[in-house]
Amino acid sequence: MFALKTIVLKWLFLTISPCDAAEPWQLGSQDAATPIMQGIIDLHHDIFFFLILILVFVLWILVRALWHFHYKENAIPQRIVHGTTIEILRTIFPSLISMFIAIPSFALLYSMDEVVVDPAITIKAIGHQWYRTYEYSDYNSSDEQSLTFDSYMIPEEDLELGQSRLLEVDNRVVVPAKTHLRIIVTSADVPHSWAVPSSGVKCDAVPGRLNQISILVQREGVYYGQCSEICGTNHAFTPIVVEAVPRKDYGSRVSNQLIPQTGEA
């Protein structure tokens, strides 16, 4: 009974709804859905600590100097030009702080580039003016048959209650959660950029170039992002929506998408 009551209370008051899309007046990052984003958020926290330390210190010194050495309080200025101890200290401490910031930063930077595990799926994200095309071609037996679909933003007039303006699309990119993915980003006309903040991904889509990003989406959910490179009139109206589904549902979801799309693919 007690256990039941705890569960009910927890579900009522402590259900966590992750932030996977931009919120109005949002200050912090969206919630992490990949290890990379988690690393970025942790790095941000690390650096922010030193930032506050330095900020408080500098403000304190500044305010103190302005307060105590106001010309009415202290008419005779001192003319100190040397001070070996303080010079040594003010060189060593900033170097140490820089080092504490640099170490986690470089660790994250190089680990982001490392591809340790072979990806299980390759998805191609091709930018167009002003929509995206996604291709899942791992299972073709010929050059023609890949699962390809276009992803257009849902215009404001067609939105249903609860959907986000300028963020929803008609066909989402369905990916299996907890699976290493390789996403190949390119463009068919002008430069675009494929960005999904909660996955810590922002990759330029350059025509004539295939950019690879490796992600592992750790939880199921729907993640929103927007085009991040000016690409013309409707640059603000080409969002990206990634839907991570449980791995065992991935097969059926993708084949469901294949059936209605085969006419258009």
Residue 107 interacts with another protein (CB under 8 A): yes or no: no
Q: What is the DSSP letter of 53?
A: H
C-alpha–C-alpha distance, residues 114 and 95, integer Å: 28
Q: Does 179 bind another protein (CB under 8 A)?
A: yes
Instruction: Candidates 87, 138, 156, 158: give the one binding another protein (CB under 8 A).
Output: 138
Residue 172 C-beta: closest distance to another protein, Å: 19
Q: Please give the structure tokens belonging to residue 114.
A: 């490392």
Q: What b/e readout covers 139-156, taking b as 16+ CB neighbours within 10 angstroms?
A: eeeeeeebbbbbbebbee
DSSP string, 84-148: HHHHHHHHHHHHHHHHHHHHHHHHHHHHHH---S--SEEEEEEEETTEEEEEE-TT-SSSS--EE
**Shortest reach from residue 216's CB to another protein, in Å:** 7
If one asks whether residue 256 binds another protein (CB under 8 A), the answer comes out as no
Our finding on whether 12 is near another protein (CB under 8 A) is: no
Cα 200 from Cα 30, distance rounded (Å): 9
Q: Which stretch binds another protein (CB under 8 A): 50-58, 84-92, 171-179, 234-242?
A: 171-179
Q: Which is nearer to another protein, 73 or 118 (CB)?
A: 118
Question: Which residues in this chain contact another protein in the complex, by CB under 8 A?
Answer: 3-4, 6-7, 10-11, 14-16, 18-19, 31-32, 38, 41, 113, 115, 117-122, 124, 126, 135, 137-138, 140, 143-144, 146, 148, 176, 178-180, 182, 184, 186, 188, 203, 208-213, 216, 218-219, 247-248, 250-252
